Amino acid sequence: MVKVKICGVTSADDALRAVEYGADALGFNFYPPSPRYIPPEQAARILGELPAGMCTAGLFVNETRQHVKSVLRTCRSGGSAGLTAVQFHGDEARDYCARWPLKVIKAFRVRDEQTLGEIGEYPVDYYLLDSWSPGYGGSGATFAWEWLTAPMARPVILAGGLDVGNVSEAVRELKPFGVDVCSGVEAAPGRKDHQRMKDFIAAAKAE
């Protein structure tokens, strides 16, 4: 069954509801320009309330290794078990993505079919395919799924413009390892609409 990741979590209430509804992973955005940015101290408090074994990913964009390690340490404070994965959403090189003690997700912003052909093989655990947009934020739009004609080097997490209206089709047609949603289940940036979130997870897992 497809895995569902709810990204851009900023409150314990949203996090716990996502877990209740069957989410497999939660994402915390540590990219300061994003409207969904969460301070590491706040993320640590939320992580401390989650059930053991929950997959939790920290999203970073073109940060130094030192800064990422500092955030990871902060997220382990206050009794929290910390994050279980890092997600690199910028222009990070292959060497940068290697040798992390956690699971690694590398995001790629798909501008055209050629983008997919140029990805090749990164030393990571998962590829997250998002639609291209200026800057490094999510566009809230899909890319052309028909570009995904060849197997990728790593399991694929599909993102970009997914919502309850199209996630079933995406899972049925592409059979990704997982799907990632943010704005498609929001009432406002960083604040989840619980009914949309519940319906999205149910729709994704129905396939």
- Annotated catalytic residue 130: yes
Positive/negative CA dihedral, 31, 131, 154, 118 = negative
| Residue from 73, 90, 88, 80 nearest 133 by CA | 90
Q: Which amino acid is at 71?
A: V
Q: Which of 14, 24, 130, 180 is catalytic?
A: 130
The number of helix segments (H) and strand segments (E) in the chain equals: 7, 10
Is 143 in contact with 131 (CB distance < 8 Å)? Answer: yes
- Annotated catalytic residue 55: no
Q: Which of 7, 14, 75, 180 is catalytic?
A: 7
User: What positions carry a catalytic annotation?
Assistant: 7, 130
